[in-house]
Every structure is written in C-alpha cells, then in structure tokens.
C-alpha cells in the first residue's frame, strides 16, 4: 500500500467516523442547506440491524460482551460511478442514506464543497459536544489529598 493510498484511507475513515457519530438531526439540517440529494442509485437500501459491542477491562483484559447497539447501513452509487457506504449508529434510514451519499461525494470533484458545507460543521458540532461533556465532568471532579501533620 502506497503512502498516498494510506493517507486517503485515513481521511475516509475520519469522515466516515464523523458521519457515524453525528446526530441525525444535525446531518439533516446541514443537508437542507447543501441542496437536494444528488442523482444516485441505491445499491443497498438502508437496513437496520444490530451489532454486539465488546470491551476489555483496563483495555488489556479478556474481551467480554458489553451489549448490543442498533446500526443502519446503506450503499449508493452516484451517476458518475462513485460508490458510497455508511454504517451509522441508531435507526435512522435518512441519516444512513445521507452519510452514504456524503461518502460518495467525498470521492469526487465535490469533495471540497462537501467538506466545507457538511463535514467541517459536523466536526465543529462534535467538538462543542465534547467540550460541553468535559466541562460537566470537570464540574463534578473532587480532588482528594492527604495532609501529613508533623513528622514521626
């Protein structure tokens, strides 16, 4: 695998991860501002299913089943031949279709426009949510300390 291929793969993983984590309402709102859905063929209609989440204690212990999560997947092909795929959290068929279309558009000439109008705003929203969550967690932090009096 060449360096360029690895870089493209990392970029695609990043935007697909962002789309998968995004709230359906945020993606839908941004798509409204982006315009109508591009002409496409549905290769795999949005399907709802489940996946088993696995975890490890301390990130090094034996794997165990934590629970299940709903996911929706979709695959599309644009008229220019670009294929787009999406696996998103939750049960939103519209979000899966929009994410698959975004993936397909990011592989063509519209990538810069899609990044500016969809992906960058989604990344900003995600950053704000993380900062808000971190601030809430920091507000509950308790600092424990031991004070030693004198020496024995």
What is the spatial distance between Cα 19 and Cα 92, in angstroms, rounded to a whole number? 12
Say if CB 81 and CB 90 are below 8 A apart: no
For residue range 68-90, list pLDDT tens digits in order.
Answer: 999 999 999 999 999 999 999 99
Say if CB 53 and CB 65 are below 8 A apart: yes
pTM of the predicted model, to two decimals? 0.82
Strands 40-56 and 63-78: antiparallel
pLDDT, position 140: 83
More confident call, 116 vs 1: 116
Residue range 11-27: mean pLDDT, rounded: 94
């Amino acid at each position: 695998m060449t360096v360029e291929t690895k870089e493209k793969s990392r970029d695609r993983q990043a935007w697909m991860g962002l789309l998968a984590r995004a709230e359906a309402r945020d993606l839908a709102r941004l798509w409204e501002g982006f315009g109508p859905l591009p002409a496409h063929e549905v290769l795999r209609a949005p399907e709802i299913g489940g996946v088993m989440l696995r975890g490890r204690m301390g990130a090094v212990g034996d794997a165990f089943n934590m629970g299940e999560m709903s996911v929706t997947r979709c695959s599309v092909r644009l008229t220019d031949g670009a294929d787009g795929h999406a696996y998103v959290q939750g049960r939103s068929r519209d979000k899966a279709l929009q994410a698959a279309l975004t993936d397909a558009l990011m592989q063509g000439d519209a990538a810069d426009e899609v990044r500016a109008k969809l992906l960058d705003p989604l990344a900003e929203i995600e950053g704000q949510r993380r900062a808000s969550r971190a601030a809430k967690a920091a507000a509950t932090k308790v600092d424990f300390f031991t004070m030693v009096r004198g020496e024995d």
